[in-house]
Amino acid sequence: MPRIFLPLSEPSGTITITGEKARYLSTVLRCKEGDELIIFDAQGTSYKTTIKGITKREVLAEVTEAIMSDTESSRTLILIQGLLKGDKMELVIQKTTELGVKEILPAITERSQVRDTRKAARWRKIAEDASRQCGRTRVPLIHNPIPFADIFSHRPNAYTPNIRAGRGLIFWEKGGKKITDTLDAVTGGDPCVVAIGPEGGFTSEEVAIAESGGLRIATLGNRILRAETAAIAATAIIQFLEGDLG
Domains along the chain with CATH numbers: 3-68 (2.40.240.20), 77-241 (3.40.1280.10)
In 138-191, beta strands by DSSP E:
141-142, 146-147, 167-171, 177-178
Computed over every residue of the chain, the mean pLDDT equals 87
What pLDDT does residue 165 have?
Answer: 56
Stretches where the chain sits below pLDDT 50 are: 156
Residues 6+ apart with CB under 8 A from 152: 160, 163, 164, 209, 210, 212, 213
β-strand pairing of 103-108 with 141-142: parallel
pTM given for the model: 0.84
Q: What is the DSSP string of 22-90?
A: HHIIIIIS---TT-EEEEE-SSSEEEEEEEEEE-SSEEEEEEEEEEE---S-SS-EEEEEE--STTHHH
Mind listing the pLDDT tens digit for each residue in 32-47?
999 999 988 867 788 8
Residues 6+ apart with CB under 8 A from 216: 167, 168, 169, 170, 176, 177, 182, 185
What pLDDT does residue 161 have?
Answer: 54
